């Protein structure tokens, strides 16, 4: 099987690539334009694998994408390329419209033209898997309900609105052109190789440096937390066994307040970072570094996913609990300071063009 992964140098995309190389018999073409969040350090071992190829290409460049389809001849597209940081979407929404909506449109069109030219049985076997977020469903504040696959869309931020738009495009291409599509919507991911702008790595790295640990508002916002390697397993399960035209919600069954997530990280660091040469926290404990800051505009109060469909129909459940996954995550950052140091210094971007061309 030949698999195109878009955004494969990002956090979730790189986890998918690593999983496919380790556990699946397939060839992979990773298409990533390498924005600030694209990090080839997260795929250092992949470049030595003969089953892996990389192309530094913008998914909005239709001609370039068409050439890659023609050359690689994929059986599956796993479309993860997206701008994903809510704060950045508030500051610069245009980039999110361009990548998440225009980019998805471009990928759908090139996939459609390619798929229509395939001979059977490859035409019947082709899949376009669009990876999205639970944020498209909006806010569950004041209710105990969970997001299901039929929850109406009610996005709150430019990011979630752009992802909702891309989901609608995928469904429209499936309905109008019969393109064989599948959509997944996931909860908050965490784990190794996570770009430091996101909550979990930001708190870990700030704590190790003795810096303030910023928490929006009073930290009462609730999210469902999913270990990224569990998510990668689920995505591979869906793309190989999922039913065409269906949507599958993927969650970790771990609803936690943001403040509780930060407390858990602090407690794990107290245990695991004792004597660690990379820790520069004060002697008063990591929790004393917590600083409450002004809440961001339109901050949703609660997300929570009902992942019973993927469990019932495909047999997937997360292997990690919140406690086991967070322990693995904190330990990874303690064991791999060079990865974080290269991100924070910007060095990870210096040699990316040369590596991409190899």
CB contact at 8 A, 84 and 58: no
Report the C-alpha gap between 109 and 126 in whole angstroms: 14
pLDDT, tens digit, for every residue of 42-87? 998 899 999 999 999 999 999 999 999 999 999 999 999 999 989 8
CA dihedral 108, 111, 112, 115 (to 10 degrees): -160
Q: Tell me which residue of 167, 197, 187, 200 sits closest to 254, measured CA to CA.
A: 187
pLDDT of the residue at 355: 45
Give the residues across from 215 on adjacent strands.
292
Please tell us whether the domain made up of 2-357 is placed in CATH 3.40.50.720. Answer: yes
% of the chain at pLDDT higher than 90: 91
Mean pLDDT of the chain: 94
pLDDT, tens digit, for every residue of 89-105? 999 999 999 999 999 99
Radius of gyration of the chain (CA): 20
Q: Tell me which residue of 81, 175, 69 sits closest to 113, measured CA to CA.
A: 69
- Reported confidence tier of residue 278, pLDDT bands at 50, 70, 90: low
CB contact at 8 A, 344 and 196: yes
The answer, yes or no, to whether residue 357 has pLDDT greater than 90, is no
- Reported confidence tier of residue 284, pLDDT bands at 50, 70, 90: low
Residues serving a catalytic function are 134-135, 159
pLDDT of the residue at 276: 62
Backbone angles phi, psi at 89, to 5 degrees: -65, -30
324-341 residues labelled b (16+ CB within 10 A) or e (exposed): ebbbebbebbbeeeebbe
pLDDT of the residue at 358: 37
Give the helix ranges, DSSP H, for the chain.
11-23, 62-72, 86-91, 93-96, 103-116, 122-125, 158-177, 199-208, 228-241, 258-272, 308-314, 322-335, 337-345, 352-357
The answer, yes or no, to whether residue 352 has pLDDT greater than 80, is no
The answer, yes or no, to whether residue 7 has pLDDT greater than 90, is yes
Report the C-alpha gap between 230 and 19 in whole angstroms: 10
Q: Tell me which residue of 82, 183, 177 sits closest to 128, measured CA to CA.
A: 183
Q: What stretch of H or E contains 215?
A: strand 213-216
The answer, yes or no, to whether residue 164 has pLDDT greater than 90, is yes
The conformation of residue 350, written as its DSSP 8-state character, comes to T
Q: Tell me which residue of 286, 242, 240, 237 sits closest to 265, measured CA to CA.
A: 286
pLDDT of the residue at 332: 98
Report the C-alpha gap between 104 and 117 in whole angstroms: 20
Report the C-alpha gap between 171 and 246 in whole angstroms: 9
Report the C-alpha gap between 114 and 74 in whole angstroms: 9
The conformation of residue 73, written as its DSSP 8-state character, comes to -
- Reported confidence tier of residue 287, pLDDT bands at 50, 70, 90: very high
Q: Is the dihedral of CA 216, 220, 223, 227 positive or negative?
A: positive
Report the C-alpha gap between 319 and 307 in whole angstroms: 14
């Amino acid at each position: 099987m030949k698999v195109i992964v878009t955004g494969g140098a990002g956090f979730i995309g790189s986890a998918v690539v690593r999983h496919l190389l380790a556990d699946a018999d397939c060839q992979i073409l990773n298409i990533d334009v390498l924005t600030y969040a694209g990090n080839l350090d997260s795929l250092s071992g992949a470049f030595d694998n003969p089953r892996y190829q990389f192309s530094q290409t913008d998914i909005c460049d239709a001609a370039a994408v068409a050439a890659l389809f023609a050359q690689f001849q994929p059986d599956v597209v796993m479309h993860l390329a997206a701008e994903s940081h809510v704060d950045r979407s508030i500051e610069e929404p245009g980039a999110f419209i361009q990548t998440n909506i225009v980019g998805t449109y471009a990928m759908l069109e090139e996939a459609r033209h390619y798929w229509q030219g395939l001979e059977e049985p490859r035409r019947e076997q082709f899949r376009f898997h669009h990876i999205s977020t639970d944020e498209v469903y909006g806010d569950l504040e004041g209710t105990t309900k969970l997001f299901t696959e039929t929850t109406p869309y009610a996005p709150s931020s430019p990011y979630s609105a752009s992802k909702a738009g891309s989901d609608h495009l995928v469904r429209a291409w499936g309905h109008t052109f019969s393109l064989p599509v599948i959509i997944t919507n996931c909860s908050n991911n965490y784990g190794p190789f996570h770009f430091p702008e996101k909550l979990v790595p930001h708190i870990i790295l700030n704590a190790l440096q003795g810096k303030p640990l910023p928490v929006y508002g009073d930290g009462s916002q609730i999210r469902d937390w999913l270990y990224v390697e569990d998510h990668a397993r689920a995505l591979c399960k869906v793309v190989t066994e999922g039913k065409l035209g269906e949507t599958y919600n993927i969650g970790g069954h771990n609803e936690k307040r943001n403040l509780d997530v930060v407390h858990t990280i602090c407690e794990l660091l107290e245990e695991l970072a004792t004597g660690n040469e990379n820790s520069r926290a004060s002697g008063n404990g990591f929790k004393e570094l917590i600083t409450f800051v002004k809440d961001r505009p339109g901050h949703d109060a609660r997300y929570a996913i009902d992942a019973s469909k993927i469990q019932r129909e495909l047999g997937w459940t997360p292997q990690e609990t919140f406690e086991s996954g967070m322990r693995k995550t904190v330990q990874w950052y303690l064991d791999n300071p060079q990865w974080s140091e290269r991100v924070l210094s910007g060095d990870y971007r210096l040699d990316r063009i040369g590596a991409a061309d190899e």
